[in-house]
Chain A
């Protein structure tokens, strides 16, 4: 069994393997598939509670993964400021694998398209991949029919 504690390195190696075999578009197809077919728990959280559901989802996942971040929840906005991504830290500083150069891009393909399906506007900024710094900003447009109560 590959442990979940070893997964991030395997994930990075999977991206590299797929790019070697099928080019970058194959890696993106994997990310799109994960977004569409795998993240049902995030989809459920947003459908139930909108922005609060996002806050609940990432409180759980980032709580288990570790790392350092702040999450801000407004009535019409949800923001994750990632100061040190636990996943990027393992890839770039773990010494186990040669880091996949576009590792952090997977979040851009996994999360914004899924969240936008619920009527939100999403910006995702990769600030410093090697230091694991990024920002996710989700806005509820005025008058939008989102799942928020």
Chain B
């Protein structure tokens, strides 16, 4: 069982705002995209080998650990992650942490970097204020 210290979401949010303030949206994108080669390299490799079940298992593990309100389902060949209560946004709001101006963009950027590295594509529609999003993942056209 992994240790769950949700205040780290506030720390990440602070860091993302710091990077964007210093280096703009492009700097934020550079930083987050680079995580696909390091922090998320095991996920990239798993996605490449096992396909969408790798992402399904990843999200299932994380959102259960963090007690999020979510649903995972397949719509044809697309994996859909429907987040009805984001554990990160809800924790930050409940505990008075500042939420970075473009906090939820990190999901888009990291997802795109991970998927691109593994031959997949993705999309996300989010409502940062409400702490909700819908993420979709599918195999990229060759």
Contact = CB atoms under 8 A, between A and B. Distances in A.
Interface of A: 1-11, 13-14, 17-18, 21-22, 26, 30, 33-34, 37-38, 40-41, 61, 64-66, 86, 96-98
B34 A5 contact: no
Given A13-B35, A17-B34, A21-B27, A3 B15 contact: no
B3 A96 contact: no
Given A6-B40, A8-B8, A40-B96, 6 more contacts: A2-B107, A3-B62, A7-B11, A10-B39, A33-B14, A34-B11
Contact of A5 (B10, B27, B65, B110): B65
Interface in B26-68: 27, 30-31, 34-35, 38-42, 62, 65-66
A14 B66 contact: no
**Which of B12, B22, B96, B106 has the largest count of A CB atoms less than 10 A from its CB?**
B12
B12 A30 contact: no
Q: Which 7 residue pairs are nearest across A and B when measured between Cβ atoms?
A: A7-B8, A64-B5, A4-B8, A66-B3, A3-B62, A9-B39, A5-B2
Interface of B: 2-12, 14-15, 18-19, 22-23, 27, 30-31, 34-35, 38-42, 62, 65-66, 83, 86-88, 95-97, 106-107, 110
B5 A30 contact: no
Given A4-B4, A5-B2, A7-B8, A33 B18 contact: yes
Nearest to B59: A1
Contacts of A6: 39-40
A64 B15 contact: no
Interface of B is mostly: helix
B31 A5 contact: no
A40 B10 CA distance: 11
**Which of A8, A10, A86 has the largest count of B CB atoms less than 10 A from its CB?**
A10
Contacts, number: 98
**Which of B38, B65, B83 has the largest count of A CB atoms less than 10 A from its CB?**
B38
A94 B23 CA distance: 29
Contacts of A21: 22-23, 27
B110 A2 contact: yes
A4 B41 CA distance: 17
B12 A7 contact: yes
Contacts of B62: 1, 3, 5
23 contacts: A1-B83, A1-B107, A4-B12, A5-B4, A6-B40, A8-B8, A10-B12, A13-B34, A13-B35, A13-B38, A13-B39, A17-B19, A18-B22, A22-B22, A33-B14, A34-B11, A37-B14, A38-B97, A41-B7, A64-B7, A65-B5, A96-B41, A98-B38
